[in-house]
Each structure stands twice: as C-alpha cells, then as structure tokens.
A and B are shown apart, each in its own frame.
Chain A
Amino acid sequence: MDFLPDVFNISQAVGQWLLVLLVGLVSILFITFVSALIGGGVKGASRYGDSLVESLSDLVSVSSTRCYALAKLTFTEAIRRKALFVFVIFAILFMFAGWFISDSNQRPKEAVKVHVTFILNSLSWLTMIVMLLLSCIGIPEDIRLRSIHTVVTKPARRFEIVLSRMLGYIGVGTLLLGVMSVTSLIWIYRQVPEAARSELTARQPIWGDISFLDRVGTLTNAGINVGDIWDFRSYIEGATKGRAIWRFENVTPEMLTTVTSESGEKKEALRLESRFEAFRSHKGNMNRGLNFQYIILNPDNKLEVPAATLQVAEFIGRTDGIPRKLAGVTAEDSGKIYDLFDDLVAKDGSLTVAVACTDPGQYLGMAKPDLFIRLPDAPFALSFFKAMLGIWLFMVLTVALGVTASTFVKGPFAIMVTFTFIMVGNTAREFMDKLLSNKWTGGGLFESAYRILTYMNDTTELPNNPGTQLIKWVDWMLNGFLWLVQQILPNFSYFNMAGYVANGFDVDNMRSLVPAIVVTIGYLIPCVLIGYYCLRSRELEAK
C-alpha cells in the first residue's frame, strides 16, 4: 500500500472539538446578547433571555413522532420528485464503463485496483452531487412555496424541521447507496478478470514501526536518499550493515496462518508481506530481482536469526511464511533450533524483523507500510462495505452541510457554498497544510509576489521599511484566515477508503473508519444547531 494514515487520536480530537464548540457557542451568545442590548436596551435583553429559554425548550421537547412525520415527508418528496433518476445515470455509467477500464494486459492487482477505484469514486461523487442538490433545495423551496407555513404553525419545532430534513435526506441517500452498493459488488465480481479474482480480498495487516541502520550499523531515522523525487521510501545499501528494522507489537501465536509451501505441504507460519523497491546503481544480474534477507532479532539477548533470503518482487510484492522453528546459522549456534515465540519474541511481546539487502552496490527502498504481518484474510465484501460506509458517512456530511447552508441562503447559493466547502476540503487541504507548515521560504502571498517582481532570492532578507512591514502584516492576516479555514474544513480524506479496498486491504478501523464516524458526528451536531438557529431567527417569507 502506498499510503498509511496515522492512527486517529480520538480523545485529543474530541477535546479540541469541545473547545471549539464551546468557544463558538460562547462568542455567539455574547455577540447576540450585546446586539440585543444595543438594539433594545433592557427590554431587548429580557426578550433575549426569553428567546434563549424558548430555544432551550425547543431542544428538549423534540418529539420522535414529529421527526418521523417530517423525515418521511422529506423522503416522499425526494422520491416523488424523481430523485431516483440517478439510478439510470448509474446504470448507463456501468454499461459503458466496462469497455474502457478492462484491459487484458493488466496485472491482476492493477485490474482490481482500476475496477474498485472506478466504482467507489464514481459512487461517492454521484451520491454526493445528488444529495447536495436535494438537500440544498428542500428548505428554500419549502419557504418559497410557503408550504412551511402550515408546518411551523403546527407544534413542529424549527429544530425538528432542520433535524428531520437531514434525516429524510439521509434516508434517501441510504436507499440509493444500498441498492447501488449491492449492484456494484456484483458488477465487480463479474467484471474483474478471472485471473485477478484472488486479489479481491481484504488483507488484515499488522503494521510495525520502522527505523534504519546506516551502512556502518548506527541507528538512524531514515535511510539513504537515492534522489527519488517522491521521498516516501528511503534506501539501504546492499552488503553493508545497512538495515531497515520493523518492530511489531503484541505478536502472539494466534497470528500464525496456515500457508502452503511451493512443494505443496501445509504448515503454520507467520506470514510477512513485503513490497520493496529496488534501485540499481549498476547493471548487476538482470535476470533476477535483488536479493534481500529477513533477519529476526531479539533485542533482549541480542539474538539474531536469519529467516530467509528472497528475491524482491518489484511492483507486485510477495508474501512469505516465516516458519515457527528457525535454525541458527552462526558458528556458535549452528544446528540449534529457535522457536519464534519462545526465543525470538521479546519480553514485551514485540517482534523485531530486520531487512538487509545482499547485493553489493545495489539499494533497496522501503517505507513503513512496505512490510506487515498478514493475518488470515477477510472476505472482500467486508472491506467493500466498509468503504461504502465511508461513502455513506460522506453523504451524511454532505446532507448536513447542505441543509445547514439552505437555512440561511437560497437554493443555488446553498449549493455553491456547500460545493465549494467540499471541494476545497477535498482538494486543497494538503496544499493548505503545506502553506501553513512554515516550511516554505519566501513568505506569504504578497511577499512572494514582491520577490518575484523584484527578482529577489527566496533566502535574502527583505529590506526593512514600512512597505515590507505592511506586506508582512497583510500576509500574516491572510495566513490567519487560512488557518481558520483549515480548522473549520473537515478532513475529507478519512472518508475515501477506496485505497484500502483497491489494494486488497481491509479498511483500517482506527485509521479511517472511526475517524470518519467521529468527524461526521462532530460536524452533524454543530450543523443541526446552526441550522436551527438560522431558521429560527428568520421570517419564513420568500425574499
């Protein structure tokens, strides 16, 4: 796998979320109170108190009966407005897609990748767009046609209206996704070439932490940079003391898998899957891949047992079983048999696997996700439906944002606002993070422009005068704004789980699924509140 997000720290995220919510709430309350006081004096303040009490009572008197009725109304409306035409688009997409994306020359892994990525991405965007249109139009239309007048003059709370709109659209989205996911799973099974079916699986990886030894054997954070632009992998030199070392926590005999060896016999082994990259500094032997060696280390007693010498299978990767019983090879312990769990797993339960390259003068490139313990696989459908859950959560978030936007602006504007929000969050996030990381020299927008116009080098100090001071100050303000945007935008990358599924991995719960759920809930709550506040504080007249 080419990516591996960090494990999500829930308690930290929730803490920060609470803080933001609290600060937002307090500042809104303060601003509205002050404006009520200025606008209406003491009377205004007391009226403000009344409306605060009313809002609170609205929040606590939510009735499931009314919410059900309103949600059902929303659902019926969407269905009877023929939202399900999407199915037709979807079907057309499917009929023709097969022609373009199937290619008999593809490697099996690639075939699976292409099909799965295509399906999941098109599903995700299609649903997003349909739900965006639906959810942004609902309330403004209700106001324009004034049908909302007959609802708000019943005991329906405006809070319930916002909430049920969201629930109703989520219902529609669920129906859409439910049908489409089953259809597409069947389509994938049928469409993926026979030979590639085995790649339709859900690997259950145990990830380790990586560190490196340089060519003389001292511990470093990263290996050698061979000049690759993409500095994802770092390299060790062959036939030196250079090594990449993975440490896996809590390794137990339950992790053994039954593997079938080349000779056809079945035995228990710890499966290691690797996908290393070779960098050749000279031609060497072109008929085989570079050789590498697995070495199992026990840091407690400095025991080192070489497990196997293998050839790198570039771009494809390989899965190998490390047998439970390993023979010693050095002068002192030759003939001795070590048990993987009794002798090699350290007292703290961790297993250390080192990788060395044995071809002199060649380099082996590795990154943290390039080696993992592969437990018995789960069915492909599991990871597929987890990814569908990710798309579902994305849909929920879209609906929440759309409905919220539609409570304060008209339909077309609501669509624009929400769409921009989602697009910026999806595409510009990385760039924004980079801009804000202060790693770049040359300053912000205006400073860079100034440097370009005056042919000034990145690293030269700006002359100190009021003009440059102003430029710096404006840049600082812009950066502040950018920071705010970065804080407010959801991290949409959690929702896209296609990478796992396409690479034949199970979706990682702690790295993707849980964060996606937490992020969705985290946005849902303030969205409902903001939507309620906006709907409540406006007259429901078409303007």
Chain B
Amino acid sequence: MSTDVATSTAAFGSSTQFSAGEPVISIRNLSKDYRDFWGRPKVKALKSLTMEVRKGEVFGLLGPNGSGKTTTMKLLLGLLFPTEGEISILGRPATDVSKNERIGYLPEESYLYRFLNAEETLDFYGRLFRLPANVRKQRTEELLELVKVSHARKRQLKEYSKGMTRRIGLAQALINDPELILLDEPTSGLDPLGNRDMKDLIIKLKEQGKTIVMCSHLLADVQDVCDRIAILYGGELKVMGRVDELVKEQDATQIRSSKLSDAAAAEVREVLRKHGATDVQIDQPTSSLEDLFLRTVQESKERPGRRISV
C-alpha cells in the first residue's frame, strides 16, 4: 500500500514543491455524483479532484457555498463513496475504519447526541477509542478547559447555544490526540474571542506536528493559519498553492506603515514618483486573499472549466 502511495505521488506530483513532509492524504481524480433514489446522477459535486496534503501542514479548502468542500471531507472519511477516483489517507483507503484511530473530525454542524451532557459526550467518544478510564477523565478535563465550556459540563447538549455545541464538537475531535485533524468550518458560530482561540489552537496543533485540513469562508483566518490552500468552484479545483506565494503580486511593491496623515501621504507619494513609480496607491490594506478568492470565483464564472493561473 505504502509503495502505491509513493508512486502515485510521484506520478501526479503537483506543482507544489514546498513542503518536505510525506503525503498524509492523496486524492487522485476524485469525482462524486450525488444520485437520487433511482440511481440517476443528480448533482456532480466533485469533478476529478487531484491533490495531496503533507505531514505537518495546515491545508485550507476554500470555495463558495456548494462548491464541494464538505463533500471532499466526507469522501476522505469514508462517509461517502467516490463515484470515481482514489483516496489514500494515512496510507489507507478511505473506507478502512482503523485509520480513524489517528483522525479527528469536526463536522460542518455539530452532529452530537443532544441527550448527553458535555462530560458524557467526551467520555463516550473516548470509549470508542478504547482509552482507559483515567486517560478519558484527564482528557475530558483538559479539553473542557481548552474549549471553555467546563462551567456547563453537566448540562445536556440540547440546552447548549450554537457556539457552545461547536466547542464541544471541537473537543470531541481532539479526544484521541489525533495526527490528522479535519475541520469543516471550524469558526462558524464562534464569537470573536472563540474565533481567535480557534486560530491560536490551530497554530498550536501545527507546532505539535499535526496535520490539519480545514474549510472556511473567513479568508482572513485562512490567510493567518494555512500554509497551503485549494480553491474549489463548482466541484472543480481552480487554484492550489502556498498562501504567501498565491497572494504575492510579482510586479508590485507594498509598503505598510502606521496610519499617515494626509500631508505625510502626499509627501511619500512625491518621493515615490521621483523614483519613477507609477500607479501609486496609498490607502488602508485589504485582505489580498479575499481579492484572490473573489477574482477566482469571478473568473470561474466567466470561463468555466479552466484551472486559473495566479
């Protein structure tokens, strides 16, 4: 199996030559049609996706609503079966259950058992990993602290707010101290503080050497934490690469400073012009990933079926 992955990686070794880590996930020509009751294809949710995620990186899956991000994750986890193509995750096929020992998954919405309380929930998932009682207890403690719901540990989840449920969802994804973590929109429903915590947590997990795949709409977050991203549109891969390289404009220079007064700005503009700079803009910076994202979506709409070059 492992040789298989190695050769396939070499075969479709994409344009990425950045991370030295070994591939944790490799997907080749993955397609998914949702079918109706009679087996007729209804939606082509994913069209021939090829990509890989390497050990130790934070990988972001971007795309507008309905572009196939969640579908990709479910395929990786064996919740859905591919129409075509191959998946290798942690060196195993997606339907192999034993790979789940090393995976943590936060679903798009927190699909938890609403009649359990926070403690019972974590204990239950801990048991599924056959963690011994003391480890379960300790992890439950730690994780409840980490996601900041230990004050509500005895309340049934049906009484939880959306953000609180989300936090428990995250805690259950980390109960087995996984190597590979799949987060489907981890920040949805979280307050700004929670959002900040989530980003810090992802960075911390990355420092511990974990591999993380996440979907998100909040581009600023993605830009802050992801090493590489892929943008999907209508089930097709449009852009893939390192975040810093993707958003770097080759023929422009950006100068940042604290906010300048109008007079100072005019002076700077003067200096730049003296050095032959054209097109000088002095304004507040925008998220450049957002630019990229919007441009990608725009171009995909105008010229469907093409990979977009950045």
Residues of chain A having any CB pair with chain B under 8 Å: 50-51, 54, 57-58, 61, 63, 65-66, 68-70, 72-73, 76-77, 80-81, 145-158, 539-541, 543
Residues of chain B having any CB pair with chain A under 8 Å: 37, 77-81, 93, 95-98, 100-101, 103, 105, 107, 109, 111-113, 115-116, 120, 124-125, 127-130, 169, 172, 176
6 closest residue pairs by CB, A with B: A69-B127, A146-B111, A154-B128, A80-B115, A153-B105, A147-B111
Q: How far is the CA of A215 from the CA of B261 in the complex (A)?
A: 131
Some 24 contacts from A to B, beta carbons below 8 A apart, are A50-B93, A54-B95, A57-B98, A61-B98, A69-B127, A70-B128, A73-B116, A76-B115, A81-B115, A146-B109, A149-B107, A150-B107, A152-B79, A153-B78, A153-B100, A153-B103, A153-B105, A154-B100, A154-B125, A154-B129, A155-B97, A155-B129, A156-B128, A541-B79
Q: How far is the CA of A68 from the CA of B125 in the complex (A)?
A: 12
Partner of B172, one of A51, A150, A158: A150
Question: Are B79 and A149 neighbours in the complex by a CB distance under 8 Å?
Answer: yes
Known: A69-B127, A150-B172, A151-B128. A77 touches B97 (CB 8 A): no
Instruction: Looking at the assembled complex, report how far the CB atom of B140 sits from the nearest CB atom of chain A, in whole angstroms.
Output: 14
Question: Are A65 and B127 neighbours in the complex by a CB distance under 8 Å?
Answer: yes
Question: Are A145 and B100 neighbours in the complex by a CB distance under 8 Å?
Answer: no
Q: Which residues of A contact B79 (CB under 8 A)?
A: 149, 152-153, 539-541
Q: Which residues of A contact B111 (CB under 8 A)?
A: 145-150
Q: Which residues of B contact A70 (CB under 8 A)?
A: 128
Question: Are A156 and B124 neighbours in the complex by a CB distance under 8 Å?
Answer: no
What residue of chain B has the Cβ atom nearest to residue A151's Cβ?
A: B128
Q: How far is the CA of A540 from the CA of B130 in the complex (A)?
A: 24
Question: Which of A70, A72, A147 has most chain B Cβ within 10 Å?
Answer: A147
Q: How far is the CA of A503 from the CA of B127 in the complex (A)?
A: 49
Q: How far is the CA of A151 from the CA of B93 in the complex (A)?
A: 18
Q: Which residues of B contact A54 (CB under 8 A)?
A: 95-97
Q: Which residues of B contact A80 (CB under 8 A)?
A: 115
Question: Which of B101, B113, B125 has most chain A Cβ within 10 Å?
Answer: B113
What residue of chain A has the Cβ atom nearest to residue B95's Cβ?
A: A54
Q: Which residues of A contact B100 (CB under 8 A)?
A: 153-155
Q: Which residues of A contact B37 (CB under 8 A)?
A: 543
Question: Which of A51, A149, A156, A541 has most chain B Cβ within 10 Å?
Answer: A149
Q: How far is the CA of A403 from the CA of B105 in the complex (A)?
A: 27
Q: How far is the CA of A524 from the CA of B24 in the complex (A)?
A: 40
Q: Knowing that A146-B107, A153-B100, A153-B105 are A-B contacts, what are 9 other residue pairs whose CB atoms are under 8 Å apart, sorted by A's residue number?
A: A66-B127, A146-B111, A149-B79, A149-B107, A150-B105, A151-B128, A152-B78, A154-B176, A155-B128
Question: Are A68 and B77 neighbours in the complex by a CB distance under 8 Å?
Answer: no
Instruction: Looking at the assembled complex, report how far the CB atom of B37 sits from the nearest CB atom of chain A, in whole angstroms.
Output: 7
Instruction: Looking at the assembled complex, report how far the CB atom of B27 sits from the nearest CB atom of chain A, in whole angstroms.
Output: 17
Question: Which of A50, A58, A72, A152 has most chain B Cβ within 10 Å?
Answer: A152
Question: Are B97 and A58 neighbours in the complex by a CB distance under 8 Å?
Answer: yes
Instruction: Looking at the assembled complex, report how far the CB atom of B131 sits from the nearest CB atom of chain A, in whole angstroms.
Output: 9
Q: Which residues of B contact A50 (CB under 8 A)?
A: 93
Question: Are B95 and A51 neighbours in the complex by a CB distance under 8 Å?
Answer: yes
Q: How far is the CA of A237 from the CA of B93 in the complex (A)?
A: 81
Question: Are A539 and B81 neighbours in the complex by a CB distance under 8 Å?
Answer: yes
Question: Which of B80, B100, B103 has most chain A Cβ within 10 Å?
Answer: B100
Partner of A155, one of B93, B95, B98, B107: B98
Q: How far is the CA of A66 from the CA of B97 in the complex (A)?
A: 13
What residue of chain A has the Cβ atom nearest to residue B132's Cβ?
A: A65
Known: A153-B77, A153-B100, A155-B97. A77 touches B127 (CB 8 A): no
Q: How far is the CA of A159 from the CA of B299 in the complex (A)?
A: 47
Known: A65-B127, A153-B105, A539-B81. A147 touches B97 (CB 8 A): no
What residue of chain A has the Cβ atom nearest to residue B96's Cβ?
A: A54
Q: Which residues of A contact B101 (CB under 8 A)?
A: 155
Known: A145-B111, A149-B79, A151-B128. A76 touches B116 (CB 8 A): yes
What residue of chain B has the Cβ atom nearest to residue A158's Cβ?
A: B97
Instruction: Looking at the assembled complex, report how far the CB atom of A496 sits from the nearest CB atom of chain B, in whole angstroms.
Output: 35
Instruction: Looking at the assembled complex, report how far the CB atom of B116 sits from the nearest CB atom of chain A, in whole angstroms.
Output: 7
Question: Are B80 and A541 neighbours in the complex by a CB distance under 8 Å?
Answer: yes
Instruction: Looking at the assembled complex, report how far the CB atom of A50 sits from the nearest CB atom of chain B, in whole angstroms.
Output: 7
Instruction: Looking at the assembled complex, report how far the CB atom of B172 sits from the nearest CB atom of chain A, in whole angstroms.
Output: 6
Q: How far is the CA of A173 from the CA of B80 in the complex (A)?
A: 34
Q: How far is the CA of A77 from the CA of B96 in the complex (A)?
A: 28
Question: Are A68 and B97 neighbours in the complex by a CB distance under 8 Å?
Answer: no
Instruction: Looking at the assembled complex, report how far the CB atom of A460 sits from the nearest CB atom of chain B, in whole angstroms.
Output: 48
Instruction: Looking at the assembled complex, report how far the CB atom of A530 sits from the nearest CB atom of chain B, in whole angstroms.
Output: 19
What residue of chain B has the Cβ atom nearest to residue A157's Cβ?
A: B97
Q: Which residues of B contact A157 (CB under 8 A)?
A: 97
Question: Are A73 and B124 neighbours in the complex by a CB distance under 8 Å?
Answer: yes
Q: How far is the CA of A455 from the CA of B198 in the complex (A)?
A: 84
Q: How far is the CA of A154 from the CA of B80 in the complex (A)?
A: 15
Q: How far is the CA of A155 from the CA of B81 in the complex (A)?
A: 18
Q: Which residues of B contact A58 (CB under 8 A)?
A: 97
Q: Which residues of A contact B169 (CB under 8 A)?
A: 150
Question: Are B125 and A150 neighbours in the complex by a CB distance under 8 Å?
Answer: yes
Question: Are A150 and B127 neighbours in the complex by a CB distance under 8 Å?
Answer: no
Q: How far is the CA of A150 from the CA of B126 in the complex (A)?
A: 12
Q: How far is the CA of A148 from the CA of B112 in the complex (A)?
A: 8
Q: How far is the CA of A58 from the CA of B95 in the complex (A)?
A: 11
Instruction: Looking at the assembled complex, report how far the CB atom of A345 sits from the nearest CB atom of chain B, in whole angstroms.
Output: 62
Partner of B130, one of A66, A81, A146, A541: A66
What residue of chain B has the Cβ atom nearest to residue A539's Cβ?
A: B80
Instruction: Looking at the assembled complex, report how far the CB atom of B108 sits from the nearest CB atom of chain A, in whole angstroms.
Output: 9
Instruction: Looking at the assembled complex, report how far the CB atom of A450 sits from the nearest CB atom of chain B, in whole angstroms.
Output: 38
Q: Which residues of A contact B109 (CB under 8 A)?
A: 146
Q: Which residues of A contact B129 (CB under 8 A)?
A: 154-155
Instruction: Looking at the assembled complex, report how far the CB atom of A387 sits from the nearest CB atom of chain B, in whole angstroms.
Output: 34
Q: How far is the CA of A226 from the CA of B125 in the complex (A)?
A: 71
Q: How far is the CA of A158 from the CA of B130 in the complex (A)?
A: 16
Known: A153-B100, A154-B100. A147 touches B113 (CB 8 A): yes
Instruction: Looking at the assembled complex, report how far the CB atom of A85 sits from the nearest CB atom of chain B, in whole angstroms.
Output: 16
Q: Which residues of A contact B97 (CB under 8 A)?
A: 54, 58, 152, 155-158
Question: Are B93 and A65 neighbours in the complex by a CB distance under 8 Å?
Answer: no
Instruction: Looking at the assembled complex, report how far the CB atom of B10 sits from the nearest CB atom of chain A, in whole angstroms.
Output: 21
Q: Which residues of B contact A73 (CB under 8 A)?
A: 113, 116, 124
